[in-house]
Amino acid sequence: MPEGPEIWRTADKLNDALQGKSVNECFFYHEELKPFENRLPGTTVKRVEPRGKALVTFFDGDWCMYSHNQLYGKWFVEEAGDLPDTGRSLRVALHNDKFSALLYSASEIKMMPQDELENHSYLQKLGPDVVHPDTTVQHILDQYENDTFQNRKLTTLLLDQAFLSGVGNYLRSEILFDSKISPSFKLRETTDEQKQQLAQVSRKLARRSYETKGITNNPTIVEALKREGASRREYRHFAYGRADDRCYRCGTEIEVMDTGGRKLYYCPSCQSK
């Protein structure tokens, strides 16, 4: 599933193609959305906003479209009228004079009046967005210090969008690694200094991933590995996806554990406490 940085980059791509442009034609796969094939042409796309792992497309007038990619959804932007070479199922298409924005395989799509948006069950529960430029370290620290979350295990808490929105599986591993926090900890077991570190790292790595198209590793390490001819898989992350490879800090082999059916990668030496 795409995480916050990927959703923000998708929003950038969609805004480049759609923002300020009139919809010439559109397509909706689901029968309940078919009436909008007649309503939306002639309207202008005002903007596309990331909301956690969802996107909201605002049209002038009263309507907006909520979409969540879930596991398999993906947006493509093509020249007007072109289709990508994919075996996915088309769910939404928005066409203007220059571009076609095409949403494939997403399972959750809804049109709603804009004044009802904040009542959406997913959106109203979102915590601070770790990628949003207006989210500060203090906003994130407030969550780490909130009594509501203190008895939660960090491995599950970091995937809870009501805690911090936009964090997913790879950011979870990377945040814990860079903060030198054991994946066995509950939030209440961390010190004030560790909470501060977690807050700083949560924002830093989310923004870094957004700005670098998915790289969370330290830029100095990345550049050194590139000079050695390392592949993207080898230099992209500190720990995520690197089971049995050496930790870039201490040389210990990175280990992997299953938590709720999802893999978490960590260094047993650097993250021993």
| Domain architecture of the chain: domains with CATH | 4-125 (3.20.190.10), 137-266 (1.10.8.50)
Mean pLDDT of all residues belonging to the chain: 96
Pairwise CA distance, residues 135 & 117, whole Å: 21
The whole model's pTM is what? 0.94
Choice among 51, 53, 207, 236 that is catalytic: 53
Both tokens assigned to 155: 């491995």
Q: Which two tokens stand for residue 156?
A: 């599950």
**Of residues 147 and 61, more confidently modeled:** 147
| Mean pLDDT (whole number) for 215-238 | 97
Q: Could you tell me whether strands 74-79 and 25-28 are parallel, antiparallel, or unpaired per DSSP bridges? A: unpaired
* 5 Cβ contact partners less than 8 Å away, ≥ 6 residues apart: 131, 166, 171, 206, 209, 210, 214
Q: What is the mean pLDDT of residues 196-209?
A: 98
Output b/e per residue, 122-159; b: 16+ Cβ within 10 A: bbeebbbbbbbeebeeebbbebbeeeebeeeebbebbb
pLDDT above 80 (res 183): yes
Q: Can you tell me whether residue 74 is helix, strand or coil?
A: strand
Q: Residue 35 catalytic? A: no
In this prediction, residue 184 carries a pLDDT of 94
What does the pLDDT average to over 226-245?
96
Q: Residue 117's pLDDT is what?
A: 93
Tokens standing for residue 52: 């956690």
pLDDT of residue 272: 80
Q: What is the pLDDT of residue 220?
A: 97
Task: Give the active site residue among 2, 5, 128, 183.
Answer: 2
**Beta strands 45-51 and 90-95: pairing type?**
unpaired
Please report the pLDDT score of residue 81 as a whole number: 87
Quick check: is 262 catalytic? Answer: yes
Choosing from 78, 262, 263, 268, the catalytic residue is: 262
Backbone angles phi, psi at 165, to 5 degrees: -85, 140
Q: How much is the pLDDT for 72?
A: 87
Percent of the chain topping pLDDT 90: 94
Q: Are 41 and 63 in contact (CB under 8 A)?
A: no
- pLDDT tens readout for residues 158-181: 999 999 999 999 999 999 999 999
Above 80 in pLDDT, residue 1?
no
